[in-house]
Structure 1
Amino acid sequence: MHMSFSVAVAGASGYAGGEALRLLLGHPEARIGTLTAHANAGTRLGEHQPHLRSLADRVLEPTGVEALAGHDVVVLALPHGASGKVAAALAERGDDAVVIDLGADHRLVDPAAWEAFYGSPHAGTWPYGMPELLHPGERTAAAQRTQLAGTRRIAVPGCNVTAVTFGLQPGIAAGVIEPVDLVAVLANGYSGAGRSLKTHLLASEALGNAQPYAVGGTHRHIPEIQQNLRSAGAADVTISFTPTLVPMSRGILATATARLVPGTDPAAVRAAWEQTYADEPFITLLPEGQWPTTAATAGANTALVQVAVDAAAGRVVTVTALDNLVKGTAGAAVQSLNLALGLPETLGLPTEGVAP
């Protein structure tokens, strides 16, 4: 199917915006339109994204509806709170573009959860850009893809959320793990913290150092993880979630554990993950004994998953690796956009990692 579309990217000088551009440049149907920024408006893209050689001379315009309007697709790679305002202004203008929010503004269904974790009014809920998300009663994802087909609004998931969801949702849907007393500990690349200049993100602070952050139930991705696992069939979800910055530029390695439902055969555990991901183009359950690594997913729209039963502890252990900027953000956006436009879901998306 030939369906050429123009794309404007707001926040093109940041990590998420740059990654969206990198993928869109490899998409056979995408034409790059206006690029905008806030503090970097008026500068050339090559000053901020020197790896995007074909766009290096593009001048970044100020982010506003006038610059973004008139495109088939608008990608909002903006901080939380900013994308909601821009999206609302586009809607008021009557612009018919497909709008993709790489930020958090439109992910959560519950306004109270948004206000509790983000401290501002809720901007509303959009169709959720995780095609692989299970719905109640499903063992393989179908309803979520139907929801994305033809939509004009897409809320891209949080990168940490994606890793934890992929690790745990098969067991929730199959009823082989308990949805309470979940524990997730993540190793995160520094690009997930954004491009802002902060002392703890300096190389002198980061190299040779591992730093936990948002400890003790304070991370803003927690309600989104709970929302997704409820979608997979959990009546109630409690999770202890601890991310840790480690010295790598990109990638997430998420170790998530759950109580094994008493009496469950370990073979049924692996079968649950096999059934869920057997036909997924971007999620691979690795052979038994082989463990995911972040390098194997770098630059690719893939997630590698492994599951094991710790019989002595009575827990199921899952490990998921993905690139936070690709499958965790921009790749999920392009994948969902393909579905929204009626294009093949895999179009323009790389599946080969870059290692070592």
Structure 2
Amino acid sequence: MGIRVAVAGASGYAGGELLRLLAGHPDLEIGAVTGASSAGKPVTEVHPNLTGHPAFDGRDFQATDASTLSAAELIFMALPHGESAALAEQLPDALIVDLSADFRLGDEEAWHRFYGADVRYAGRWAYGLPELPGARDAIRAARTVAAPGCYATTSILALAPLLAAGLAQPADIVIVAASGTSGAGRSPRPDLLASEVMGSMSAYKAGGRHRHTPEIEQALTEVLYFHPERARGDSRPVTISFTPVLAPMPRGILATCTARLTPVAADSPDPDSALRGAFADAYAGEPFVHLLPAGQWPVTGAVAGSNGAHVQVTADPHAGRAVVVATTDNLGKGAAGQAVQIANLMLGLPETAGLTTHGVHP
């Protein structure tokens, strides 16, 4: 018998991916599986890819309530924004990994600006991106952890080494990131119909309007000042211009991030080597983040179905900027895979248990 875990909101895409990963986890046992609108439906009707697994055959989704979930030793919450906070209040002693945005932001004003004036601010939990400086210790010590958003995970992994090493200016960062349609969730919408998406790409929520903007800025600002000597005396927070793009694919994120080089990097005799050295140092020994060989650029298919992240960096001397491209599976490292990675740390298990860095390609 393994450690019993429950999944609240398991009928969505991230919840279904959690079930798939948990089904193959060597140390975890699946307890309650809940889904509000799917309560009473067979799990394998909603997630047919789970057919044949003894944990799901003959099992129906249960209603999402605290009494159903309380028997688990750890609870994953894959609920819509605004619902996790209310449920967590009813489970004060539980170990929780939350995949929503409810506990990611430390700035109440930013929360209301991006999530609505009428949506209650619930405070901030430990931030669950293990590859950030100091994050693993904070996650291991926490009883409740907020898993980062998918765009945020990919963009932060792309930019953190530059800021930590003092190679990029924090106030001039541009991110253009394309995501597969599963990032918008499972609820039916006209703009996500196959006839609208196939053969087409579209930007949305441009001009700093996307909800992951304050999350990315918060995390990168904390990276910048985690090592005060690397901040070069600059007290400004990180500022980004973020444009998300909907891509005609079911899953994956490709983030292209550029930042103006600091004099330290721009005046280097070999800026490419300086940038690559920062990434090699930052991700040395990381099981899931891989700096690709020089000249090889990330592709979304290479990380599909995995908890992996691929990054590549180069200097653009003409523009005086660093260019970083990173890719993740938005349902893997961007959601369910990362949640399992977090839970492994919280439970004292091997961090890689139940996860793979190898994608399914083609």
Q: TM-score, normalised by structure 2?
A: 0.92
Paired with 1:57 and 1:324, the residues of 2 have a C-alpha distance of 29
Residue in 2 that maps onto 1:240: 241
After superposition, the C-alpha distances for 1:74-110 in whole angstroms (9 at most, x for unaligned) are 111100000111111112xxxx331111110011111
1:1-356 → structure 2 map (5 Å cutoff): 4-53=2-51, 54=53, 55-91=56-92, 96-119=93-116, 120-134=119-133, 143-233=134-224, 235-264=236-265, 265=268, 266=271, 267-356=273-362
1:51, distance to aligned residue in structure 2 (A): 0.3
Could you tell me which amino acid in structure 2 is paired with residue 125 of structure 1? R
Residue in 1 that maps onto 2:232: none
Paired with 1:87 and 1:216, the residues of 2 have a C-alpha distance of 33
Secondary structure, in 3 states, of the residue corresponding to 1:179?
strand
**Contact 1:47–1:56 (Cα < 8 Å) also in 2:** no
Paired with 2:146 and 2:209, the residues of 1 have a C-alpha distance of 22
Could you tell me which amino acid in structure 2 is paired with residue 310 of structure 1? D
Unaligned 5+ segments in structure 2 are: 226-235
Could you tell me which amino acid in structure 1 is paired with residue 96 of structure 2? V
Paired with 2:275 and 2:142, the residues of 1 have a C-alpha distance of 35
After superposition, the C-alpha distances for 1:237-279 in whole angstroms (9 at most, x for unaligned) are 1111011111110000000000011252202222111110111
1:343, distance to aligned residue in structure 2 (A): 1.0
1:121, distance to aligned residue in structure 2 (A): 2.0
Secondary structure, in 3 states, of the residue corresponding to 1:273?
helix
Paired with 1:190 and 1:81, the residues of 2 have a C-alpha distance of 22
Could you tell me which amino acid in structure 1 is paired with residue 114 of structure 2? F
After superposition, the C-alpha distances for 1:134-167 in whole angstroms (9 at most, x for unaligned) are 3xxxxxxxx2111111421110000000010010
Deviates more, 1:17-26 or 1:249-258: 17-26
**Contact 2:312–2:325 (Cα < 8 Å) also in 1:** yes
Paired with 1:307 and 1:204, the residues of 2 have a C-alpha distance of 35
1:47, distance to aligned residue in structure 2 (A): 1.3
Could you tell me which amino acid in structure 2 is paired with residue 98 of structure 1? L
**Contact 2:166–2:264 (Cα < 8 Å) also in 1:** no
After superposition, the C-alpha distances for 1:105-136 in whole angstroms (9 at most, x for unaligned) are 011111221111111221121111110113xx
1:7, distance to aligned residue in structure 2 (A): 1.2
Secondary structure, in 3 states, of the residue corresponding to 2:311?
strand
After superposition, the C-alpha distances for 1:174-228 in whole angstroms (9 at most, x for unaligned) are 0011011210001110000000000001111111111111111100000000011
**Contact 2:300–2:327 (Cα < 8 Å) also in 1:** yes
Paired with 1:100 and 1:341, the residues of 2 have a C-alpha distance of 11
Unaligned 5+ segments in structure 1 are: 135-142
Secondary structure, in 3 states, of the residue corresponding to 1:247?
coil
Paired with 1:172 and 1:62, the residues of 2 have a C-alpha distance of 44
Residue in 2 that maps onto 1:138: none
Paired with 2:18 and 2:94, the residues of 1 have a C-alpha distance of 17
Paired with 1:209 and 1:222, the residues of 2 have a C-alpha distance of 24
Give the RMSD, CA atoms, in angstroms: 1.1
Q: TM-score, normalised by structure 1?
A: 0.94
**Contact 1:70–1:97 (Cα < 8 Å) also in 2:** no
Secondary structure, in 3 states, of the residue corresponding to 1:343?
coil
Paired with 2:32 and 2:264, the residues of 1 have a C-alpha distance of 58
